[in-house]
Amino acid sequence: MPPLEGLKVVDLTRVLAGPFCAMLLGDMGADVIKIEEPGAGDDARAWAPFVGSWSSYFLGVNRSKRSLALDLKTARGADALARLLAAADVFIENVKPGSLDKLGFGREAVHALNRRLVHCTISGYGQTGPRRHLTGYDPIVQAESGFMDITGMGDGPPVRTGVAITDYMAGLYAFGGILLALRSRDRTGVGEHVDIALFDAILSTLSMPAGILQATGRTPHRMGNDHSSIAPYEALRARDGMVMIAAANPRLWKQLCGAVGARHLVDDPRFLSNTDRVKNRPALKVELERVFSSYSVDELIDVLHRASVPCGRVRDVAEALADPQVEARQMLLDFHEPDMQGLRVLGNPIKLSADGARPWRRPPRLGEHTREILEELGYTREEVAAFSMSR
């Protein structure tokens, strides 16, 4: 039995952070009901590129769910949501703070409806504080949090990450927060409010630059692929490409030098300690890349792996997904749907020894399970038909 078998989750989220969190719960056995606006649905359904009629973006974070199309501004839609929440274990929403209050589904109203319900809100800046009313988008939060300012090359402008890292971080924190709240409910019988902010989530990753600021009084600057406190711990050039090196302690530094025939660097006064190597990083790079120039990337990685020095090729996404490790870890999934044309989506990284993730449902079509879910809620066939007519 999957660990979350029997858990009912109402997912009133769209785009990324919330859908990602709900997908993780669904992968672990929860019955996730995704509520979408009739006609349009989740914004991400319309985002290119497409595989057949499917948005590849939407497919990536919406498996293991059922889709219920509801217009919450109508009496029927509000009644259906109320019935769902009364019988649910978890309610996840990323609606702008205050918006659900206007529809009668604010925090207090939902708690009164079902005191055991765990209510998770995901927003840009959280439910408290002077910024709580602002809408949060990943690039804005990356910029506002200082995350962009430490990302990029030292002589270039601030750069956002290539993926919406604040959304993924918030989704993961929401997943963990929900499980904690469910554990608390086991003891108290009362569901808690889990308040997750994209801003908080990305700030939590800045422990090292924040520590530098606190210790020195100086704002950390962009360092590109270099590490502020360790060297060599960066991407270095071999004859035909780049290799990421992580010689994070004196033992690994000596093993690196020995493996590539550069033992003289161990006794070089400029590189005796890690502090010396960080201070003299430009000279260190010159010396190492001079040695590495006689190796192809494959040769260098082979030599360093045999010496137990952590390293890796700087790959593109296609090269990474072709690694046999991906298949071995079931990190690409195929739902074998003809209209998905063989598209594979990323798997669940949480591996449990007994019974873990089961991505048991392909991503749903908009409103695909509306009739099924409404009938489960006790609506008659005539009432279900009336829902269809009102959309």
CA distances from 383 to 10, 35, 242 (A): 21, 18, 63
Tokens of 96: 């702008």
Q: Cα separation of 12 and 223, whole Å? A: 40
User: Measured in Å, how far apart are the chain's first and last C-alpha atoms?
Assistant: 38
Give φ, ψ of 12 to 5 degrees.
-105, 60
The three state secondary structure string of 205-242 is CCHHHHHHHHHHCCCCCCCCCCCCCCCCEEEEECCCCE
Specify the 3-state DSSP secondary structure of 98: coil
Cis peptide before 139 (omega within 30 of 0): no
Q: Cα separation of 136 and 372, whole Å? A: 34
Choice among 111, 133, 221, 227 that is catalytic: 227
Query: Do residues 103 and 78 make contact, with C-beta atoms less than 8 angstroms apart?
Result: yes
Estimate to the nearest angstrom the gap between the alpha carbon of 64 and the chain centroid. 16
Specify the 3-state DSSP secondary structure of 87: helix
Closest by CA position to 176, among listed 154, 159, 200, 153:
200
Burial of 49 (0-12, 13-18, 19+ CB in 10 A): exposed
Per the annotation, the verdict on 133 as an active-site residue is no
Q: What's the angle, vertex CA 29, arms to CA 15 and CA 121, rounded to 5?
A: 40
DSSP-assigned letters across all residues of 18-72: HHHHHHHHHHTT-EEEEEE-TTT-SGGGGPSPEETTEEHHHHHT--S-EEEE--T
Q: Cα separation of 385 and 375, whole Å? A: 11
**Residues known to be catalytic:** 227
